[in-house]
Amino acid sequence: MHYYRVGGHPLSITFAGDEDIDRMLPSFARFALTATPDEPLLLEVVVDDNWPWDDPSHEIGQFDSTGNNYGVYLRPDGGYQYEISDVTGVLCSRVTTNADFSRIVVSLVGQTETQRNFGLNNALMLGYAFAAADRQTLLMHASVIRHAGRGYLMTAPSGTGKSTHTRLWYDNIPDCDLMNDDNPVVRIFPDGRVVVYGSPWSGKTPCYRNVEAPVGAIVRIRQRPENSIRQLRPSEAFGMLLPQMSSMKWDARVYRGVCDSITNLVRLCRIYELGCLPDADAARLCHDTVAS
């Protein structure tokens, strides 16, 4: 059994077979724990290619995520089954969960190492997101730049400029470093602190850093013919943030937890919309507004 801590939450991964975990999960290396955690685990993961797969009895739907497909099925016991396929349509893994996602079993069915790694990483990502959904913890689609000790989250649909904008901060604003480029963890604490963490999931950019910072601001990026920025009203901010979170609208526990967390984010964080060109002036305008 291997232990990790992601977003402050401990989890375990156990392989039923003889797998090289460092080869299977290189992005998790910096999140490994050297001792058994003394608090309850958020998530227990078992990787067992021989785990029996029940024929799904109730299909929730087939969902596309940046070209990858997730088949989602409800189990009679309230848990779920997932079939995860890559952009070529190859089935890479099957996942069986209990109702609260505290335990998941992953069967890797891809034939190549790339397919197996893809299937496992995506299973771990969805397991973590849905186990943590009612813990004031969000897996958010964003690129995070850290400046002067605070994390600034840039969010936008894939391919519309969030990574470009954080790169412009890095190139033009002193004292910046990239924390994560696609799937950071955002956690809200009872004392009102909001903290962003690097994670083992970072899209196409291999930025798997075990770092954290208080959230400075959240910025929605929109491509515009000129640079402008404004702070969003609470209702606008909620509507903007909801699609950027890993969630399941049909699951009451998960969806309620995500909505409650977003409500707290809107209450505790400054949230902006940046209309911009992909230029240094946009980064300076954003910095001078949100980091002041």
Query: What is the pLDDT averaged over residues 162-186?
Result: 96
Pairing status of strand 194-197 against strand 176-180: unpaired
Q: What is the pLDDT of residue 113?
A: 93
- In this prediction, residue 240 has a pLDDT band, given cuts at 50, 70 and 90, of very high
- In this prediction, residue 161 has a pLDDT band, given cuts at 50, 70 and 90, of confident
Query: What is the pLDDT averaged over residues 159-172?
Result: 92
The residues, ordered by sequence, that sit 6+ positions from 242 with a Cβ below 8 Å of its Cβ are 258, 259, 262
Q: What is the pLDDT of residues 208-232, one digit of tens each?
A: 999 999 999 999 999 999 999 999 9
Q: What is the pLDDT of residue 15?
A: 95
Q: What is the pLDDT of residue 160?
A: 78
Query: What is the pLDDT averaged over residues 128-144?
Result: 97
Pick from 292, 244, 284, 289: nearest CA to 266: 244
The structural domains of the chain, with segments of one domain joined by +, span 2-132, 138-290
138-290, what's its fold?
Answer: Rossmann fold (3.40.50)
Record the pTM.
Answer: 0.95
Ranges of beta strands (E only) in the chain are 2-6, 9-15, 43-47, 58-65, 68-74, 80-85, 91-97, 103-108, 137-139, 143-147, 150-155, 176-180, 185-188, 194-197, 212-223, 228-231, 271-276
Lowest mean pLDDT among 14-18, 40-44, 139-143, 256-260: 14-18
Q: What is the pLDDT of residues 23-82, one digit of tens each?
A: 899 999 999 999 999 999 999 999 999 999 888 879 999 998 878 999 999 999 999 999
Q: What is the pLDDT of residue 198?
A: 98
- In this prediction, residue 153 has a pLDDT band, given cuts at 50, 70 and 90, of very high
Query: What is the pLDDT averaged over residues 254-274?
Result: 98
Q: What is the pLDDT of residues 89-124, one digit of tens each?
A: 999 999 999 999 999 999 999 999 999 999 999 999
Residue 159 scores a pLDDT above 80: no
Q: Compute the mean pLDDT over every residue in the chain, rounded to the nearest whole number.
A: 95
Q: What is the pLDDT of residue 191?
A: 97
More confident residue, 292 or 5: 5
